[in-house]
Amino acid sequence: MSTAGEQQRIPPGQQVTPGFPVLHYGDVPYYRDTTRWDLRVFGLVEEQVLLSFEEFMKLPRREFRNDIHCVTSWSKLDNVWEGVPVSTLMERVKLKPEANYVMLHAEEGWTTNLPLEDFVRDTSFLALKHNGELLSPEHGYPVRMVVPHLYFWKSAKWLRGIEFLAADKPGFWERNGYHMYGDPWKEQRYDFD
Ligand SMILES: Nc1nc2c(c(=O)[nH]1)N[C@H]1C(S)=C(S)[C@@H](COP(=O)(O)O)O[C@H]1N2
Ligand SMILES: [Mo]
């Protein structure tokens, strides 16, 4: 049972789960060696940025608290994360003026798209820890994106690349019938023709 206050935090058609379900397409990458991880920021930027794991770990982090909403109808409330704010990462990136959209690239070529303004929102971040622990391999270790105001499929696990684009383009699930934007409050779940 949830309190009235909690009820207002739950978008239509969602159910609160106490657990943390694991959902993804493909295999979980197990990083034994983080020297093989890097993050590439590319596309419509003046200069590509390539961050090693060591460099990424030196970026300032902070705590984020949020609720997450999966398109398959579970919501998980009161998450406490530690991560790098997108604004901190963007201090290192000079965008070209045509940049309007973002494609997030994960391991194995998995992708998801979102508008630039949603990516740079002050609630969006690159997560390293969830509820006090390093991310587990299943939840995206070493680094996952978290964009809590959109359905959770936009929060790419095992993030490896951030690409800036002029026009919107569907990512992996968006090519397979998911909504291009994915606002949980508007139930923008699927977008079949
Ligand atoms: N790299 C990658 N990230 C992904 C996915 C995926 O298949 N691959 N699935 C998305 C989907 S559909 C959901 S609901 C969330 C699930 O995150 P969780 O397993 O940590 O709950 O991850 C998202 N991020
Ligand atoms: Mo999902």
Task: Provide the token pair at 166.
Answer: 């002029």
Determine whether the shortest distance from the Cβ of 153 to ligand 1 is under 6 A. Answer: yes
The torsion angles phi and psi of 127, rounded to 5 degrees, stand at -90, 140
pTM: 0.97
pLDDT at 5: 82
pLDDT at 12: 98
Å from CA of 105 to ligand 2 middle: 16
Determine whether the shortest distance from the Cβ of 110 to ligand 1 is under 6 A. Answer: yes
pLDDT at 193: 57
pLDDT (average), residues 123-145: 98
pLDDT at 42 over 70: yes
Please report the domains of the chain, with CATH numbers, ordered by start residue: 34-186 (3.90.420.10)
pLDDT at 2: 62
Instruction: Provide DSSP, 61-128.
Output: -EEEEEEEE-TTSEEEEEEEEEEEEHHHHHTT--B-TT--EEEEEEGGG-EEEEEHHHHTSTT-EEEE
Q: What mean pLDDT value characterizes the chain?
A: 96
pLDDT (average), residues 147-159: 98
Q: How many CB atoms lie within 10 A of CB 4?
A: 6
Å from CA of 155 to ligand 1 middle: 7
pLDDT (average), residues 156-169: 98
pLDDT at 187: 97
For residue 158, the ligand 1 atom closest to its alpha carbon is 1
pLDDT at 1 over 80: no
pLDDT at 10 over 60: yes
pLDDT (average), residues 30-56: 97
Determine whether the shortest distance from the Cβ of 152 to ligand 1 is under 6 A. Answer: yes
Of the candidates 26, 41, 29, the one whose C-alpha atom is nearest the C-alpha of residue 161 is: 41
The CA distance from 41 to 50, in Å, is 6
Ligand nearest to the CA of 24: 1
Determine whether the shortest distance from the Cβ of 189 to ligand 1 is under 6 A. Answer: no
pLDDT (average), residues 10-22: 97
Å from CA of 154 to ligand 2 middle: 9
